Structure 1
Amino acid sequence: MTEELMACPGPHHVHRNAYCTHMAAVENVTDDRTLDAFPSEVEDDAEPENCDCDGLGGFPCWPCVHTGRKELPN
């Protein structure tokens, strides 16, 4: 999160004083003013630190799916 104060009129922030999806969207807008809805935590094809694919019997773990390293099977 940025060092600047952020506020949102949405109920999640107003009633819980919590960081909300609106705040996350504002922080993830790119320089060309498009929204990167799922910013990658890993820039290359490196395995995420919290990868648990080995323990899932061939099914990809969420960190690998979230970063775009692997896809969910159909």
Structure 2
Amino acid sequence: MICTVSDPAETAQKRAQAEQFAFDVDAPGLIEVTNESHENPEDHQYIVSIDDVTHELMACTCPHHAHRNAYCKHMAAVENATEEGTLDAFPSEDEDEPDNCDCDGLNGFPCWPCVRTGRKELPN
């Protein structure tokens, strides 16, 4: 009997295509990935980071990547979504302000929702 081991990246790609994922850009280059295929999706949320210069995938907070430093299905899902153009991992700063923006009441200081989404930066 011959046993073959499949390519880990190929396995991650297949799993990414077989499962349903939702994406939220927490900040430029930080994508929250939720696996909607699970009964409790909120228990399966991870952050995938992307290099802001090369736009290459860097890391994921899931156990598979964290413990094995391996390319995972969450990284594959983000890669597929960014390549297809359905996800903008680096939104421009001139996008609409977040619904809960409170910058006007802070005398020029940015509110946390604007900082978190990368729309504005904290002053030094």
TM-score between both structures, scaled by the size of structure 1: 0.51
Question: Post-superposition, which runs of at least 4 consecutive aligned residues in structure 1 deviate over 4 A?
Answer: none
Q: Percent identity?
A: 49
Q: How many positions carry a matched residue from both structures?
A: 54
Indicate whether 1:2 and 2:24 are aligned.
Answer: no
Give the TM-score normalised by the residue count of structure 2: 0.33
1-side partners of 2:101 and 2:115: how far apart?
Answer: 10
Q: 1:65: which partner in 2?
A: 115
Question: What SS class does the counterpart of residue 43 from structure 2 fall into?
Answer: coil
The runs of 5 or more residues in structure 2 that have no matched partner are 1-33, 48-61, 63-72, 81-87
CA distance in 2, matches of 1:46, 1:71: 15
Which structure is higher in RCO with an 8 Å CA cutoff and minimum separation 6? 2
SS in 1 for 2:99: coil
Task: Point out the structure with the larger strand share.
Answer: 2
Counterpart code for 1:58: G
CA RMSD of aligned residues (A): 3.4
Structure 1 gap segments, 5+ residues each: 8-17, 33-39
